[in-house]
Amino acid sequence: MSTTPNLASIKPSLDNLQAIERELTASLIERDEVIRASLVALLARQHLVVLGPPGTAKVAIPNAAIDLVEQLRRDIAAKGIIISDRRWGQSLSVLQAHALTEGRDAVTEDDLIFLKHVLWQSPEQRAEIGKALARIGNPLNSKAVDYEDQAASAHRECMDAQQAAQSEEQKMQAAIEANTKLKQIGVKLQELRDQAAEQGRNTNRIDKVIEAVAKMKQEIASLVL
């Protein structure tokens, strides 16, 4: 008795299985191996354990967000910045994790700006990636992150000066200069928030930057008082 399967008789089932795989692959980016393993486990009626970052599997990546990531990839490639497929796959998990930490069940354009911190390999690349993100994502969030970087730089320089200064006068001068910079950045951030509110945009990201800068300013102010 032959044990060779009749391919013609199982072709409809194979077609259905392939259709399911295509649909899942289109919806779950960078999960090809997991999808195939899941289908095999289903056919074999066996269990499957999938390991990964906790909770992020529950965070969806809408097609609109995927389109923006693909646009970003094209834009920075045109600038000569080539990033591996593996790094791009990891970036999607980063977006999911960022959305999760903010209590959302789906990635939005507001999460994209976070890629500014994970894709670059040199300071020059970081600047170009930041510009590209500002063009395709939420430009107000991008500007807020730029202000946060400026504030962090001013804070860091002040703290370094406290260690290197040779007199109390030099320490005081460094603190006053940093406090002035942070105050100016705070004003710009508030203007940015007002602009976002007028446009009906989510202000959560800007609010968090405002809070972070306020803490830096408070720490610097304690050196002056």
Q: Supply the pLDDT for residue 35.
A: 76
Give the Cα separation of 105 and 218 in Å (integer). Answer: 34
Give the Cα separation of 155 and 221 in Å (integer). Answer: 11
* H or E element in which residue 214 lies: helix 204-224
**By C-alpha distance, which of 105, 109, 104 is closest to 66?**
109
Q: Which two tokens stand for residue 124?
A: 């020059």
Q: Supply the pLDDT for residue 213.
A: 93
Q: Specify whether the CB–CB gap between 224 and 172 falls below 8 A.
A: yes
**By C-alpha distance, which of 145, 160, 123 is closest to 192?**
145
Ranges in the chain, pLDDT < 70: 1-8, 10-13, 16, 19, 23-31, 48-57
What does the DSSP assignment read for 122-179? SHHHHHHHHHHHHHHS-HHHHHHHHHHHHHHHHHHHHHHHHHH-SSHHHHHHHHHHHH
Q: Supply the pLDDT for residue 94.
A: 83
Q: Supply the pLDDT for residue 44.
A: 79
Report residue 60: phi and psi, to 5°.
-80, 150
**Residue whose entry in the numeric block shows the structure tokens 């990201």:** 205
pLDDT tens by residue, 148-171? 889 999 999 999 998 888 888 999
Q: Which fold has domain 57-136?
A: Helicase, Ruva Protein; domain 3 (1.10.8)
Q: Supply the pLDDT for residue 89.
A: 82
pLDDT tens by residue, 94-127? 888 888 877 788 888 888 888 887 888 887 888 8
